[in-house]
Homo-oligomer: A and B are copies of this chain.
Amino acid sequence: MLAAYRQIAERGFEGLRTREVAAEVGVNIATLHYYFPTKEKLIEGVVEHAMERFRSTLEPHGTSADQLRNYLRAVRRLVQEEPELGAVMGELMLRSSRDRVLAGTMEQMYEVWHRTVRGLLKRAVKQGHMRPEADSDEVAAIIVATLTGVTLPARGGRADQALRQLERWLGIGPGPKRTNSSN
């Protein structure tokens, strides 16, 4: 299943071949079918894994006051260190428009993500790190949207710029540029 995950990251659903997955693991195709009766089931397994991976990685860690800032940084790091996740999530996103079940899973995932971010905002406001207006669905939505765009592969160096600006608008940018915090 991990092999399938990697294959999808590397070649997309378009290039997912059960034989190669089996080969990568070093077993016969029949063995693969022993565990995943159909390709469909295998994909379901991959979806589960990707979701789990995504959740566990995008869960805010630490309890410091600057949790939100840390969160954004963590994403930035994640994207660079594990580009596969972005690729697979992208594939899933596209596929979700053709697969009702997957669509549901994705939507749910987005909701969880959205609420997570919203929670971070709420706490930051309460602790006085942010202005009250920042605790809104709109702000959470643009954060998630930007992170989504940034998580996708092939977004070049502009990703960092976008994230930096996001931090500024949120008023959690780097010290020296605090002047921009009022943007």
Tell me the A residues contacting B by CB distance below 8 Å. 10-15, 87, 90-91, 93-98, 103, 106-107, 110, 114, 131, 133-134, 136-142, 144-146, 148-150, 152-156, 158-159, 161-162, 164-166, 168-169, 180, 182-183
Interface of A is mostly: helix
Q: How many copies does the complex hold?
A: 4
* Cα–Cα, bound, A14→B91 (Å): 10
Residues of B within 8 A of A148 (CB): 149, 152, 155
Interface-central residue, A90, A131, A169, by most chain B CB under 10 Å: A169
Interface-central residue, A94, A150, A152, by most chain B CB under 10 Å: A94
- Take A12-B98, A94-B153, A139-B165 as given contacts and tell me if A145 and B131 are in contact as well, using a CB distance cutoff of 8 Å: no
Residues of B within 8 A of A139 (CB): 165, 183
* Cα–Cα, bound, A10→B95 (Å): 10
* Cα–Cα, bound, A107→B153 (Å): 12
Would you call B183 and A162 a contact (CB within 8 A)? no
Residues of B within 8 A of A106 (CB): 154
Q: Which of the residues B14, B141, B144 comes within 8 Å of A12, measured between beta carbons?
A: B14
Would you give the shortest CB distance from A87 to chain B, in whole angstroms?
A: 6
* Cα–Cα, bound, A114→B87 (Å): 22
Would you give the shortest CB distance from A6 to chain B, in whole angstroms?
A: 14
